[in-house]
Structure 1
């Protein structure tokens, strides 16, 4: 009987101990390898996901090396819902993040760029949180020197599951919750591995989706290798919604896309078909945008030599999230927005004799006449041979196009397509030629 009483008491005491000392502190963000132009040194963010305030005074931050240790000052508390940043160097951190006040430090050791451990011990030297990260897949490798940080999805989830982490925006979100990236200039399309029968080289498309005009002259485009640099020539000023293609072969682009004028080049390095980084730096050589694409699922796989590109379909999203990208239409849409459904050049849905258009080729204006017995027309619009939207046309039995785009600018000579969408959703394509 005595033995049983003692055993029960031990169980009760253990239960009380674990209840008292169970904490709600998570490692929520890790910056272990900053881009060289935003060198804040290393830092770790912790978060109290509970409701109660936690005394974290005398807690310790350590890496995989036992004697590397930083002690949080006595009296430090973290209220429910609060973040705290632990910085390797306070001076360099505040140079990059002058608006962050919930930061302490310094800790005089660096986090390993090739993968390591971040450990958080309480005042009783009991481990409260531990992350063993890597700089390669399946961990988000955009955090390895390309500008973003490692950010956690679920504070209460498995901190050592790479699927519970994502690469966020350039510079991360120290001291606060993650918010979607808000870049003025984004990479809207990437062609890293052309189809053999349609070899258009490597190229990217950048897009000003801000409400302001932006001069991108002397901006720099780099891949995963900081030494690979292409500088955008002077005189390239992007109006709101304007795009610019940067390519490694102007000859290939002019041959395959003869109407494309908003293109510059050539950069002398290739984009890897096994995944690569795409980075944009402003004229002062400060990182503005970063994405690390991959050629395997969950990234779109049709862009890996099958005739497609990857296109940014959620411009206000996180570009390092594969769900932000789609493989759009065959050969992409360089220089213009992605329009879906893609142009069709197969079986005509509408009887070809029901539509007449003249003159074709045309120089200034072309007219289209539709028989009265055609299905109810829902939309008429012009696209170029790449599937890039040019302009809508008025819906009438006779419709005309003056050879101008949606902004009233005359388009260059080339092949264009009239897209005819009827009320049932069927789409018919007619080829027209402007000379």
Structure 2
């Protein structure tokens, strides 16, 4: 359902005696596959190495690092033992930038040399906190900070990960291809102005990932790609005078404002609002909006669905034809996503909501 380009968009083997299988985590040997077919090493092939590590010195030569994270939709953390010795990480703690968000590794968890450990968010195993667009992952052995990484918004967007290249030793960077539980892949070269949007490019030439001026709330016109980093709407033309979605917010009471920018009253009986999850709310009989008037709809009072940080709202008539759409990227409707100029302009993030009156 999303049409705006996004900028920046399991198992584990516990090493103990005997081996245990715990749902929610993955322990994979470097270069291994979770599949048991073919000649490649698999998790089962690594079991002998795992068994050999059990009971051995699990301190000397170990070097456990945070190797890769995903904070855009599916939250997971990958550890990697880049050292020559096995590491006993039982009792170690993983947390984010909130000290109350804590995951403790089970007793007897051994991470052999050269092995990736994938921890995916799962309340059933105690990893019940999410990773934010700007956040940290910190790994502790008691009071000792073993390793950690902090990222800012835009470095780990949806569809990408944030990780080291090369594994274990390289600096952190935005990785175009997430590789949970396996070796990180080097990013391919990206060339601006080749007409193909790739990597972290917002646009490239005429490639706007399907977005148009209408996507941004205008009546038509042409978008312009600026250095593959931003989209200019100066070539878009104003929306014609019409009944429009004029302002929305994805916080608090999820208000939706309609504005009748016509010279006549509009009867909304049988019309509906539809969000990005295809949830529909139908206007009650005799719902009308006067010429030049505003109608503000409030969650729990007028409509019954919540609006997400990355979502959309469509206004549809009695024939289910889409009359207008407000479509915003993650976080853009906080405080509000509104038309500027009021009623005819494109959408942008408004720092001062003006529900029930003209947008500033």
Range of TM-score over shorter length: 0.3 to 0.5
Rg bigger for which structure?
Answer: 1
Question: Normalization by structure 1: what TM-score?
Answer: 0.32
Task: Choose between structure 1 and 2: higher helix proportion.
Answer: 1
- More relative contact order in 1 or in 2 (CA 8 Å, sep 6+)? 2
TM score, norm. by length of structure 2: 0.38
